[in-house]
Amino acid sequence: MSTLHTRFRNSRTRFRSREGGLQPARGLSLAPSCGTKVPRGLKPALVLLSAALLLGQSGRSVWDGVYTTEQATRGSALYSSRCASCHGTVLTGGESAPPLAGGEFLSNWYGLTAGDLFDRIRISMPADRPGSLKRDEVADILAFVLSMNQFPAGKTDLERETEALKQIRIEPRPEQK
């Protein structure tokens, strides 16, 4: 059993590779995980692949104006009628639903993409009628959620295709350049 030991920055803990700790949920995908078992000979190839993926993803993040104000306004109306009863009028969540704005929300989505969040909504929301929102509507609601988290608006609407949205990273504010 070959076990790949890696020490991560500032880490108090040593991670083993064997268990594939970041297995994606069904139908969803995550960034390439550090936990996957890698045959020794493939290591250089993986490094290259990861670099390629990172480059491919480095195009956009939620800080790059990925939705429009008009879209967020459309999303706001949909949110009020389809989401607010559980997640709160200003996205603070309720006893049974998590907040959709603020630190707790962002902590759980940093490192994932707008596509992951889009699919989570599309597949399982709203809770009383999952799957009933059209892709356009999900995109509008997502634009509203992004706006409420103070990510900037831009000139083009958020896409409605999961694959395109997976190119948009959810991440903390980048360093000011």
Residues 134-153 that bind another protein (CB under 8 A): 144, 147-150, 153
Q: What is the CA radius of gyration of the chain?
A: 18
Shortest distance (Å) from residue 41 CB to another protein: 23
Of the candidates 119, 122, 96, 112, the one whose C-alpha atom is nearest the C-alpha of residue 168 is: 112
Region of 39-47, 50-58, 117-125, 161-169 interacting with another protein (CB under 8 A): 117-125
**Span 5-44, contacts to another protein by CB under 8 A:** 8-16, 18-23, 25-26, 28, 30-31, 33-35
Residue 113's DSSP bridge partners are 169
Q: Which is nearer to another protein, 72 or 139 (CB)?
A: 72
**Span 45-64, contacts to another protein by CB under 8 A:** none
Q: How many CB atoms lie within 10 A of CB 115?
A: 22
Using an 8 Å Cβ cutoff, are 18 and 1 in contact? yes
Q: How many CB atoms lie within 10 A of CB 103?
A: 8
In this structure, is the dihedral angle defined by the CA atoms of residues 83, 163, 64 and 116, taken in order, positive or negative?
Answer: positive
The DSSP code sequence of 46-85 is HHHHHHHHHHHHTTEEGGG--S-HHHHHHHHHHHHHHTHH
Kindly state whether residue 111 participates in binding another protein, applying the rule CB under 8 A.
yes
Kindly state whether residue 84 participates in binding another protein, applying the rule CB under 8 A.
yes
Shortest distance (Å) from residue 83 CB to another protein: 10
Kindly state whether residue 159 participates in binding another protein, applying the rule CB under 8 A.
no
Q: Which is nearer to another protein, 34 or 38 (CB)?
A: 34
Kindly state whether residue 96 participates in binding another protein, applying the rule CB under 8 A.
yes
Kindly state whether residue 156 participates in binding another protein, applying the rule CB under 8 A.
no
Shortest distance (Å) from residue 159 CB to another protein: 18
